[in-house]
Amino acid sequence: MTDATETTPQPSAVLRRVLDGLGDKVLGSHSQFGDDTIAVMAEHRLEVIAWLRAEPELNFDLLMDSTAVDWDEREPRFEVVDHLFSTNHLHRLRVKCGVAEDEEVPSLCSLYGSANWMERETFDMYGVVFTDHPDLRRILLYPEFKGYPLRKDYDKMEAHPLFEERYPGVRETSEVVHPGPRDLDAPT
């Protein structure tokens, strides 16, 4: 019989520092395959990540990615996942928070400018709403699009109406925009 400590990965030094600093705000954690992960409540997302950024020993100054996962039949249905990196210390951390379908999540735009488009994409594809986001609107799909295409229950066969032409007449011109190569020998 093997000892449990042999098969259970031990937390990394980074994860131990995170757990010591955040205490009961961390619902769960693991350090497997070189990836440190913590789970927090959605309402603590901004506070936790602000601390992770400000703490000198951690200094997670780069938001590499922010997205979501749709678990469809699990509660809470969604999981917002943020990948953080420290450019000073060269370590990374994944922060997850469960989000119910009708729940809103605090935006990270006040901490990271890159969160703006990442959270807009998550909203556009999954319908997750971020509070205090400066410009939460669709970024990949047109505004009239109905539904959220990365949700597990999205009907891929649903027909969507084409949107109205926004700039009529723009492409309906006889003007030559790019005339082609000039004949240098031709008289001018």
C-alpha 99/C-alpha 78 separation (Å) is: 5
Mean pLDDT of 2-20: 78
Contact 97, 80 (CB under 8 A): yes
The residue to which tokens 């925009």 are assigned: 177
SS3 content of the chain, % helix, strand, coil (to 5): 20, 25, 55
Helix (H) or strand (E) holding 97: strand 92-99
C-alpha 163/C-alpha 142 separation (Å) is: 8
- Please choose, from the candidates 180, 73, 63, the residue with its C-alpha nearest in 3D space to the C-alpha of residue 122: 63
**What's at 70, amino acid-wise?**
D
Domains of the chain by residue range:
4-131
C-alpha 111/C-alpha 49 separation (Å) is: 8
The pLDDT score that the predictor gives to residue 1 is 44
pLDDT tens string 50-93: 999 999 999 999 999 999 999 999 999 999 999 999 999 999 99
Reported residue count of the chain is: 188
Chain-centre distance of CA 22, in angstroms?
22
Helix (H) or strand (E) holding 157: none
Mean pLDDT of 155-161: 78
- Please choose, from the candidates 27, 31, 72, the residue with its C-alpha nearest in 3D space to the C-alpha of residue 45: 27
The strand pairing partners of 95, in sequence order, are 38, 82
Higher pLDDT, 175 or 105: 105
Mean pLDDT of 34-39: 93
- Please provide the CATH number assigned to the domain covering 4-131: 3.30.460.80
Mean pLDDT of 107-111: 98
C-alpha 50/C-alpha 61 separation (Å) is: 10
